[in-house]
Amino acid sequence: MKLSEQENMILGIGAGVLLASSMRIFVSGAYASLEKTFFYGATFPSALGIILFLIASFIVGKMQRKTGAIIVTAYAITSLTTDATEYIHLIAAFALPVALSLVKEVKVKYIILGLVMDLALRVLAVGGEPIDFIHTRILLVICILGASYVLWKEKGQLKSPGFGIYAFAALLNLGFIYPNAIMRYSGFETYYLLHFVGYSFVVTLAILISPYLAGNKFTPLLLIASVFTLFVPPFGIVGIPIALTSALALLKSVKKGRFGVIGALYFVIVSVLAIGAYVGRDIGIPFMEDHLEVLIFFSTVIYTLSSRPLVVERPNMREMGVPIAGMIIASLVVVSAFHVRPVDVETKDEIIVWSYNIHQGFAPYKGAFNGNELVKLLKTYSPDVMASQEVVGGMIGNGYQDVPVLLSAYFGYYYEYSPAVEGTYGVATFSRWPLEPIEERNLKSLGQARPAQKVKVLSNGFVLINVHMGLYPEERALQAEELLEMALKDPVAEIILGDTNAELHEKAIEILLMEYYDAFPERPPYTFNWGNVDIENIDYIMIKRGSALKVKDYGWLLDVEVSDHRPIYILMSEE
């Protein structure tokens, strides 16, 4: 049965959304699972998803289309019921090869419409992961089920995607289709919802004009040259959209390739190396740390070598109007419903200050995204200033969530973001009042990079340091000495707070307590708890000895399981 053009468009849009979503979920779930194995010895699902993905890449070309439709439907229904990526990624391991099979057979002009639709869902989720919020989850599932329905109608087998299509997917999944990732790769650490929405239209345009660049003999060179701009910040803000246009323009030429299993293995290797750019020293690939741009460049070269310029059919104005209308509607909704920039509020004599490690955008168990839960928590308790650690702004391992923009959009916060690596993972301070950045640095470290951030809250004039210290006692002691030197430099920090990873009896805490005192006369029972397997008291708020700041109350929220850490807080005023 031959599909109509309308059915082909539905299939292409669904395939584009499925491709982007299943890549995010597969990598996020695999990362969360392996992290749990690494830290806590959990044996399931661990690397099972990767094994299933390689198996699926081998058998996808032998699947009946109805089998593919069942897999896609299963992924959609599961995504509708839960965002626990450790489990969903086992289904995504099959859904992703099916999505790539559809990419191979569907016209490029329809696939790009699906990528724009996924971007519209990202805008509606205010920079969060679409399956983390019920409204975007439903819309995502509708798009995917549309593709499943069309796939079910047609007889025959799925086509086997070759190496080139997997190389294309690997390149996209390094952040090319995510506005926040591009902005942060390019060195833009602090921006707000209005900037995110505006730049999303730049990425949309880059996607939609790609067919007009297809067939040009200089497209491969343009792709490589534009990616090279990542080495010269901030020019990546212009270069990466051009690279995205070029990569999509070459997509048709890689559809006839073979060696899909090798391509799937390549996709896994690239994803692991990309995660290594953040935690390379902790997972045995220290050479990758802070070298994501090198990986992107070489991945671009490999994709370019597997492609050649071919003319593709261009979408007509009506076809382009669908995703553009979706982007416009999504943008109008979010700019009218959320804060497009920080909201000024009156200075208060007493303010609530939190320290909270938010665990890379993940809830503590099952790899569930925690953006929605974090929003609900802050709506309930409404801190005035929050120093957060493990804040992600566009990292491959957690679905490219933009937590700083998400929280600023919901609560009107000002924020200062200090990424430790690659512009997308570090510490952030959120405040109801403007912040003045004073200093940021990565502390000397044996493991992954550990950031410290010194900022001034302009309303009350106090200076704080937000820190995330290392995993090993000897490095924490060295970091405490460096942190103390940073804190005592003019202007002197009146508060040090954050995740020190150190218990009260450790040398690192002894060093800090030489000049600061613990704001908690009585320590919490714990501030970190992973399933009662690992329980620690490692988060602190410390006040400079002799400071005019007065702690009027203090506390903790032990029943909150949005992260593997617990929020701690003080109510303070100035004498």
**pLDDT over 90 at 572, yes or no:** yes
Summarised one tens digit per residue, pLDDT across range 491-511 is 999 999 999 999 999 999 999
How many CA atoms lie less than 13 Å away from 357 in the CB half-sphere?
Answer: 23
Across 173-212, b (16+ Cβ under 10 Å) vs e yields bbbbbbbbbbbbbbebbbbbbbbbbebbbbbbebbbbbbe
| Range 128-132 average pLDDT | 97
CA distance 429 to 413: 9
Kindly state the average pLDDT of the residues 562-571.
98
Q: Which residue from 103, 85, 122 is spatially nearest to 14, judged by alpha carbons? A: 103
140-183 tens-digit pLDDT: 999 999 999 999 999 999 999 999 999 999 999 999 999 999 99
Torsion angles phi and psi, residue 553, rounded to 5:
-160, 160
Distances 201 to 20, 65, 131, 177 between C-alpha atoms, Å: 17, 35, 22, 11
Q: Which of 200, 42, 127 is nearest to 369 (CA)?
A: 127
Q: What is the mean pLDDT of residues 216-238?
A: 96
Distance CA 283, CA 448 (A): 9
Per-residue pLDDT, 312? 82
pLDDT at 197: 98
The answer to whether the CB of 323 falls within 8 A of the CB of 116 is: yes
d(Cα 115, Cα 102) in Å, to the nearest integer? Answer: 13
As a residue count, the chain comes to: 575
Instruction: Give CA–CA dist 434/437, Å, rounded.
Output: 10
* pLDDT value at residue 1: 64
What is the tens place of the pLDDT at every residue in 529-543? 988 888 999 999 999
What one-character DSSP code corresponds to residue 61?
A: G
Domains present along the chain, CATH in parentheses:
5-335 (1.20.1250), 342-574 (3.60.10.10)
Computed on alpha carbons and rounded to an integer, the radius of gyration of the chain in Å comes to 24
pLDDT (tens digit per residue) in 276-332 = 999 888 888 989 988 999 999 999 999 999 998 888 888 888 888 888 898 999 999
Angle between helices 193-208 and 403-411 (to 10 degrees): 130
> Which has the closest alpha carbon to 338: 48, 564, 85, 128?
128
- State the DSSP code for 84: B
